[in-house]
Amino acid sequence: MPPPEKPALLRWLYRSEFARDVWPLKEVLQRGAQVVLGKDALGAEDYAESNLNAFWNYLLRAQEEENHRGISRVFEVVDPMARTLRWCPLSSHSPSTHARRNAKLRHRPAMLSMIDGLNDREYEALACVSLGLVGASETFLTPPGNEGGVDFFALLPSLGRCHLFAGGHYPLRIIGQSKKYASAVEAGEFKEFLTTIEEVKHGGQSKTEKIVPPWFRAAYGPIVGLVIAHSGFQSGAETRARQHGVITADSLDMAEIVALSRAIPEHLGSGGRANDCQTRIRALLK
């Protein structure tokens, strides 16, 4: 595990917007040491000098891991020797679609900050809003309470290239759980939810059947679990989820979905788009 200050600095960095495109990492790290670690100017300068190479490697490794799971890199290396980075490049030499995508990615920090401020119930509603933005034909937020750990249901059309796995004929039937935890989810947290998934698959259990929406039963297609955890998962939890075919996501995934959505007007800017998403969440809870 990395020293605790590195994840904290990365968390701050991902929630920061930058006035310039190109930044020396040392300058960024020095500012982060003041804001996140509470160091004075001299202490922050010493910290940045001493930890520059280690944090550089940590950041690149984190981006590589995130890229592997489909998360966009918002920093690209300009000069590895000078340790300079470019934030969400908007170069005129880039294809217009790439530049437009990066323009929306610049709103991801505001989305993350908005998500940080959600309470537990709003975080559950965020899942329904996010799934709706990526094409879910149906979503259902379960009533408050502990009904086997299920917080939402959704139908998400699959993208297969044949009739057996395409469109609305055989959508994914999603059983979801949201965890607005301050720390990573542990493997033991999956026990009740995995039992509930099996109960929903086979039906007949009054505790869970009463919360299953009719359209979920009427649809065809595979039933899959989805767990969204604000602070991610411990490695044992990831392994257990994979063994049971449960999809895992965190708030970085949710922020990216919302930031890249075409349904939230781009002209609103980062703060306006984050407010738009929050309005959708609150409307769902009324």
The structural domain count of the chain equals 2
- Domain identity same for 142 and 26: no
- Domain identity same for 119 and 243: yes
pLDDT tens across 154-167, in order? 999 877 677 766 66
Question: What's the whole-model pTM score?
Answer: 0.91
- Domain identity same for 130 and 234: yes
Which of 82, 106, 130 is at the close of a domain?
106
- Domain identity same for 144 and 280: yes
Which of 50, 84, 106 is at the close of a domain?
106
- Domain identity same for 40 and 55: yes
pLDDT along the chain (286 residues), means of 10: 80 91 93 96 96 95 92 90 87 63 92 97 97 95 84 88 71 95 90 89 80 92 94 92 94 96 93 97 94
- Domain identity same for 122 and 84: no
The residue segments making up the domain with residue 67 are 5-106
Closest CA to 21 of 80, 98, 88: 88
- Domain identity same for 132 and 95: no
CATH code: domain of residue 271: 3.40.1350.10
pLDDT tens across 137-154, in order? 999 999 987 677 899 999
Which of 106, 133, 151 is at the close of a domain?
106
- Domain identity same for 100 and 115: no
- Domain identity same for 98 and 123: no
- Domain identity same for 200 and 213: yes
DSSP string for residues in the chain: ---THHHHHHHHHHT---SSSEEEHHHHHHHHHHHTT---HHHHHHHHHHHHHHHHHHHHHHHHHHHHTTPPP-EEEEETTTTEEEES---TTS-HHHHHHHHHHTTHHHHHHHHHT--HHHHHHHHHHHHHHTT-SEEEEPPSS-STT--EEEEEEEE-SSGGGEEEEEEEEEEEEEE--SSPBPGGGGHHHHHHHHHHHH---HHHHTTS-HHHHH--S-EEEEEEETT-B-HHHHHHHHHTT-EEEEHHHHHHHHHH-SSS-GGGHHHHHHHHHHHHHHHHH-
pLDDT tens across 223-256, in order? 999 999 999 999 899 999 999 999 999 999 999 9
- Domain identity same for 199 and 239: yes
- Domain identity same for 115 and 133: yes
